Amino acid sequence: MKFSTRAIHAGQTPDPTTGAIITPVYLTSTYVQQNPGIHLGYEYSRTGNPTRTALEQNLASLEDARHGLCFASGLAATDAVLKLFKSGDHVVAGDDLYGGTHRLFTQIFQQFGMQFDFVDATDPQRVVDAIGETTKMVWIETPTNPLLKITDIAEISRICREKSTLLVVDNTFATPCLQQPMSMGADIVLHSTTKYLGGHSDVVGGALITSDDDLRDRLAFIQNAAGAIPGPLDCFLTLRGTKTLDVRMERHCKNAEQIAQWLQDDPRISTVYYPGLESHPGYEIACRQMSAPGGMVSFVLVDESESHAREMVSRTKIFKLAESLGGVESLIEHPISMTHGAVPAEVRHKAGLSDALIRLSVGIEDLEDLKEDLDAAIG
């Protein structure tokens, strides 16, 4: 079956007792057993819940993988991956990560003795150079947040195989609709399902996808032992979101491509970051590994002052000033004072993140309305 069909049907069969076409919200904490240990596959809802199973199978199918595991948030999923390792283990990560990922690595896991190096993964040689004896994992995001840098997944995966380290790809920005890291050699794909997969800004969640049976079992053990699971209603909402992922992404990309082009041609703008623009350094790799460039656009005004950027993001009316992304509604934000506030200034500057950067999550509203809104706010 093709992607848009799987998005609607994978993991879901009509309820055998009622014929309900939609997987119910199984609000139950426990399951009746026939004899001790003899049951229908579920014992306790931390370990497993049928609504969650449906979502896990749906997401695995969308990434063309064997297994999915769902978590209470994207960061809970990240936390579970890190718990595969122990004190002394080393991780090489991209230098333009989601702020919360950077915070979890450096302010929590570093305290437990894990070691992290952040490198510009768009240059694969830097990843090679950073990998040492104790390196257990390479962690990349592509496109990155918020600079939309593009990393060559197939090339990084080749390096990881050669060095016998795990490759994890945070695929939140692209979604499996536009990019399938498993097919390029990733061992684990991570999602903040809060974003495009949920798609309606009404639920927080995360997921890990893998085709490796052993990794799946170890991660499921951590999921059950540490307990950061999503509730059944969260799973239901996310499952409802994925049904329309394909059509939503088409419109997100169409609107974002037009807005990026329009901003690039506007004399009031100094730089536009969008992997669908030929001027973007990752354009060619993006063309190769993504089916479309996505719905996120970042830019800097000609007047590159932080105060100007803060004023502009407060002036839009349709683009709502908020953190997060990937919902049907357009959002605007100022990364350094919002989503990336936790990233130290020197780390931000090293990664090329300007204090005046503005980030858009382009929604699926009417394109002309969105352009008019930005046009008036830029002033």
- Which tokens go with 140? 């990349």
- 252: contact with ligand PLP by CB under 6 A: no
Q: Which is nearer to ligand PLP, 73 or 165 (CB)?
A: 73
Q: Which is nearer to ligand PLP, 75 or 357 (CB)?
A: 75
Cα 253 to Cα 259: distance, rounded to the nearest angstrom: 10
Query: Among 253, 281, 290, which residue's Cα sits nearest to residue 154?
Result: 290
- Which tokens go with 26? 């199984």
Q: Which is nearer to ligand PLP, 26 or 173 (CB)?
A: 173
120-157 burial, b for 16+ CB within 10 Å, e for fewer? Answer: bbbebebbeebbeeebbbbbbbbbbbbbbbbbbbebbb
- 118: contact with ligand PLP by CB under 6 A: no
Q: How many residues of this chain bind ligand PLP (CB under 6 A)?
A: 16
- DSSP 8-state assignment for residue 24: P
% helix, strand, coil for the chain, step of 5:
40, 15, 45
Would you call 216 a catalytic residue per the annotation? no
- Which tokens go with 75? 């960061």
**Residue 196: CB partners within 8 Å, gap ≥ 6?**
172, 173, 175, 177, 245, 248, 249, 252, 295, 325, 326
The residue with tokens 């719905």 is: 295
Cα 184 to Cα 194: distance, rounded to the nearest angstrom: 24
Q: Which is nearer to ligand PLP, 75 or 114 (CB)?
A: 75
Q: Minimal distance in Å, beta carbon 71 to ligand PLP? A: 8
- 141: contact with ligand PLP by CB under 6 A: yes
**Selected catalytic residue, list 6, 46, 66, 103:** 46
Site string for ligand PLP, 52-81 (x = CB under 6 A): ---------------------xxx------
Out of 53, 145, 238, 242, which residue is the one contacting ligand PLP (CB under 6 A)? 145
Would you call 350 a catalytic residue per the annotation? no
- 204: contact with ligand PLP by CB under 6 A: yes
Question: Which among 24-32, 34-42, 52-60, 165-173 is the span making contact with ligand PLP, rule CB under 6 A?
Answer: 165-173
Sort 77 into a burial class: Cβ within 10 Å, 0-12 / 13-18 / 19+. Answer: buried
Cα 367 to Cα 373: distance, rounded to the nearest angstrom: 10
- 195: contact with ligand PLP by CB under 6 A: yes
Would you call 317 a catalytic residue per the annotation? no
Backbone torsion region of residue 243, taken as left when φ is above 0, otherwise alpha when ψ lies between -120 and 50, otherwise beta: alpha
- 49: contact with ligand PLP by CB under 6 A: no
Q: Which is nearer to ligand PLP, 85 or 98 (CB)?
A: 98
Phi, psi of 47 (to 5 degrees): -75, -40
- 179: contact with ligand PLP by CB under 6 A: no
Site string for ligand PLP, 77-116 (x = CB under 6 A): ---------------------x-xx---------------
**Selected catalytic residue, list 98, 196, 273, 274:** 98
Q: What is the DSSP string of 275-289?
A: TTSTTSTTHHHHHHH
Cα 363 to Cα 78: distance, rounded to the nearest angstrom: 26
Would you call 320 a catalytic residue per the annotation? no
**Selected catalytic residue, list 52, 149, 195, 216:** 195
Q: Minimal distance in Å, beta carbon 88 to ligand PLP? A: 25
Q: What is the dihedral of CA 5, 361, 273, 103, to 10 degrees?
A: -100
Q: Minimal distance in Å, beta carbon 168 to ligand PLP? A: 11
Out of 49, 194, 242, 289, which residue is the one contacting ligand PLP (CB under 6 A)? 194
**Selected catalytic residue, list 96, 170, 234, 373:** 170
Out of 58, 172, 242, 361, which residue is the one contacting ligand PLP (CB under 6 A)? 172
Q: Minimal distance in Å, beta carbon 184 to ligand PLP? A: 18
Q: Which residues are catalytic?
A: 46, 98, 170, 195
The binding site for ligand PLP (CB under 6 A) comprises 73-75, 98, 100-101, 141, 145, 170, 172-173, 192, 194-195, 204, 206
